[in-house]
Amino acid sequence: MSNYPLSYKLSWLPRFLKPSLGGDRSGFAAPAATLMEPAPGQSVRLTFIGDISAVANRTRPECDPAIAALLASADLVIGNCESPIVERPSAVMGTRVGTHHAMTERFLADALAAVGIARDKLVLSLANNHVLDQGVAGFEETVAALQRLGIRTIGTAAGGPVQRHAARPLTIGFAAFTLWRNADAAEFEERVSMLDDPTKWPREAIADVDLLCAVPHWDWEFRHFPRPATRALAKRLAGHGVRLVAGHHAHVVQPIERIGGTLVAYGLGDFLGTAFATQPWPGRIGSILVVDVSADAATRGTIAAYRLHFFMRLAKGGHERLLSVEALDGAMGQRVAARLGAIFPGQKTDT
C-alpha cells in the first residue's frame, strides 16, 4: 500500500541504526544569515519546527526555558503533525510497537503548553505518510481535534494545494504536500495533498500572498544530506515563486541551501520523537528554523534574516527533555558538536 521503492525499504533499518553522512555536500549555505541590512522597521517572525509525535513521549515533554522562549517569540509556529490525534488507536499492535503513530488531544495540548507554543499561533501540516495510520476515521478525528484546539492546518486535500494564513499584517501562502504515503493511494490522495508540481497550483491561491512557502514531506529518512531528486524539486519550487521551503520526513537535521532568492531548509529533524521510543543519538538532534520577514511597504514579504537553532531530545522516564546543544557536556556534547560540524562546517551551533 505504501509507495516507497524497494531499495528504500531495505535501507530503512540500517540507516535508522546509523544515520548517514553520505551524499553530495556541495552548494549548501551557512545555517545563520542576515539578508537585509539595515533590518526592516517592521517584521514578522515565522518559526518552523520538525515532526511532532507521541511515540517517544508517553507523558508531556520537558523543555529548556531558552527553547520555550524562542518558540514563544514567534508570530506563527509551523510544524508537521506526524501522529493522528485519536482517543483509541484502531491499529492497536502497530501503535504499541511504534510502526503506527497516534497521540491524544490531551497529550498534544499538554506538550504545546510545556514547550511554550500558543495554540492560536500554531499551523500544523497533515501532509505526511503517517496521517492515515489510524484509518480514515482516525484522520477525521484528527481534523476535528485540531479544530477544537484552535490549531490551523495545512496539507489537506480539502484545503487545496496552497492554503493562506495571516501572520499579523502579512499573508503567508503554505503549500504543504507529501511525496510518501503508508496507505491506499485512492483513500490517501482524497484527503492529503500530494501535489508537488507548482505548475498545477491554482493561481488564485497564490495571488497577493506576501510570501509563498512550501512545507514538503520529502527525501529519504535518516540521511543528513538530501538526495539529488530532492534538490531538483527544490529548484523547481524556487523557479515557480516559492521563496521559503521547510522540509520534513528525514528525522535527522539536514543543511540549508540558497537557490537564488529562495531559502531551502531540507530537513529540521524531529521536534518530538517519531521513530520508536529509543533512537540512536544522531536522530535525536533537532533544529528550529527562525525566519524574520519584512513587513515594511518597500520590502514586504522579503526574508530579512534566518537562523537555525539546534537542540537535543534526551530520553527521560517515558518522555523527552528538549535541551539546547550548548548545554550538553561530556562525550555526548562532543559527538553532537562533531556531527553538526560535518553538516554545517565552520558554523556556531547554538540556541
Using DSSP, state whether 138 is helix, strand or coil.
Answer: helix
Amino acid letter, 224: H
The pLDDT of residue 273: 85
The pLDDT of residue 350: 52
Q: How far apart are the first and last CA of the chain?
A: 41
Average pLDDT value for residue range 211-235 = 98
- The answer to whether the beta carbons of residues 90 and 71 sit under 8 Å apart is no
pLDDT digits (tens, 9 = 90+) for 143-152: 999 999 999 9
Q: Does the pLDDT value for residue 247 go beyond 50?
A: yes
pTM over 0.75: yes
Q: Which CATH architecture has domain 29-343?
A: 4-Layer Sandwich (3.60)
pLDDT digits (tens, 9 = 90+) for 301-343: 999 999 999 999 998 888 999 999 999 999 999 999 999 999 9
pLDDT > 90: what percent of the chain? Answer: 86
Q: How many residues does the chain have?
A: 351
Which region among 141-155, 162-176, 205-219, 276-290 has the lowest average model confidence (pLDDT)?
276-290
pLDDT-based confidence at 58, cuts 50/70/90? Answer: confident
Q: How far apart are CA 63 and CA 269, in angstroms?
A: 17
| Residue 277 CB contacts under 8 Å (≥ 6 apart), including other chains | 55, 56, 98, 315
* Per-domain boundaries in the chain: 29-343
The residue behind cell 512557502 is 213
Q: Does the pLDDT value for residue 277 go beyond 80?
A: no
Which region among 31-35, 87-91, 126-130, 258-262 has the lowest average model confidence (pLDDT)?
31-35
- Mean per-residue pLDDT over the chain, rounded: 94
- Alpha helices, DSSP H, located in the chain: 6-17, 65-72, 92-97, 105-115, 135-149, 185-189, 203-206, 228-239, 330-343
